Amino acid sequence: MLVTTTEVNIGHEITETLGLVRGNVIRARHVGNDFIAGLRNLVGGEVNEYTKMMAEAREQAMDRMIKHAESMGADAVIGTRFTTSTITQGAAEILAFGTAVKLGGPVKSGNDAQMVRRV
């Protein structure tokens, strides 16, 4: 599965647009992590516990988006985006979304500098 942030020029001809795909996850903070993060807030710096939690949540949301695209028969997801919103105090939703497409043959292009992830 090809996943890209661009909407055009992904190196292949787009033969069919299948529609919106999405994957989401809701994560809540953990009491143990909150205690450590609270201590870190006192001295400043990155809160690694939350950074790790959000990175894992983004990966899980993207995996769910890819599964949604595969269920539609897609070869790629283009225009991938992430958004985050607060659900309640201490819980956030991470949403990954994009457009599922079918691909044809390679397109010859002089510009291959793109954000592309093959999964």
What CATH number does residue 30 fall under? 3.30.110.70
pLDDT value of residue 74? 97
pLDDT value of residue 37? 55
pLDDT value of residue 32? 54
- CB-based contact 96:22 (threshold 8 Å): yes
Range of the domain at 44: 2-118
pLDDT value of residue 2? 92
pLDDT value of residue 43? 63
**And the tokens for 34?**
């909150």
**Residues with pLDDT less than 70, the chain:** 9, 29-45, 108-119
For the entire predicted model, the pTM comes to 0.77
Structural domain tally of the chain? 1
- CB-based contact 45:88 (threshold 8 Å): no
Can you state the percent helix, strand and coil of the chain, rounding each to 5? 30, 45, 25
Q: How far apart are the first and last CA of the chain?
A: 5
